[in-house]
A and B are shown apart, each in its own frame.
Chain A
């Protein structure tokens, strides 16, 4: 699914940091340094962000495809 809202271990908020981390990684920043500068210092919270899989992204294309086809179908049917 999506990034968990909180760190499993300590409960600090990690959900809101995911997008920023991804942005920074894309810009070529080192993951470890980015996390530190985002004030995520404990290794429990760091692993939450490093090991996040947005499995929802694998699922959504199916629904996107569905909606595309639905739209096509609706345009065909006046």
Chain B
């Protein structure tokens, strides 16, 4: 899951709205693939989604008397499971008196659409030297565990192959 829509209620920081949204989008969130579905598969048809296809995270931060760095830990999620994998990611720095208030909607998505939905930071397929034997190394960013990634990927691949076979009349 990654933040995909941000409703900015107030932003007096030096970071523009679009940059703030960009940074928020890149925060890796702990994801449970079982509990949420892709927005396009959801029947809610709402631009901001419904509890089935999105998680709301809220940020309300302010620098009162000094420069303050706002970290990912300050995001309040409506789902305790779906939170940034680290609470030390700086989102923005605020000068005294500056304020940020926003609602961020995290959704499931595909890495093909945006790199923020890529679950891995390295996936390396290498030849072992033996015939028809390869080694696959997967390093997770942290939103999903490596085994989940692999099994989910295999599942998707399987589905795709089935679809292909059905379309070709092979099945």
Residues of chain A whose beta carbon lies under 8 Å from any beta carbon of chain B:
1-7, 10-13, 15-16, 18-20, 42, 54, 56-57, 59-60, 63-64, 66-68, 70
In contact, A10 and B90 (Cβ under 8 angstroms): no
Count chain B residues whose beta carbon lies closer than 8 angstroms to a beta carbon of A.
29
Residues of chain B whose beta carbon lies under 8 Å from any beta carbon of chain A:
14-15, 19, 23, 26-28, 67, 72, 85-90, 92-93, 95-98, 115, 118, 120-122, 139, 141-142
Kindly list chain B residues whose C-beta atoms are within 8 Å of the C-beta of A60. Answer: 14, 67, 93, 95
In contact, B95 and A11 (Cβ under 8 angstroms): no
Number of A-B contacts (CB under 8 A): 76
Shortest Cβ distance from A66 into chain B, in angstroms? 8
Kindly list chain A residues whose C-beta atoms are within 8 Å of the C-beta of B141. Answer: 6, 11-13
Kindly list chain A residues whose C-beta atoms are within 8 Å of the C-beta of B23. Answer: 2, 5
The answer for the CA separation of A54 and B15 in the assembled complex, in Å, is: 12
The answer for the CA separation of A68 and B27 in the assembled complex, in Å, is: 33
CB contact between B89 and one of A11, A12, A16, A67 (< 8 Å): that residue: A16
- Given the known inter-chain contacts A16-B72, A60-B67, please indicate yes or no for A42 contacting B14, CB distance below 8 A: no
The answer for the CA separation of A70 and B92 in the assembled complex, in Å, is: 22
Sample (23) of A-B pairs whose CB atoms are under 8 Å apart? A1-B15, A1-B19, A2-B90, A2-B92, A4-B26, A11-B118, A11-B121, A13-B28, A13-B141, A16-B87, A18-B90, A56-B14, A56-B15, A56-B92, A57-B93, A59-B14, A60-B93, A63-B98, A64-B67, A64-B95, A66-B95, A67-B95, A67-B96
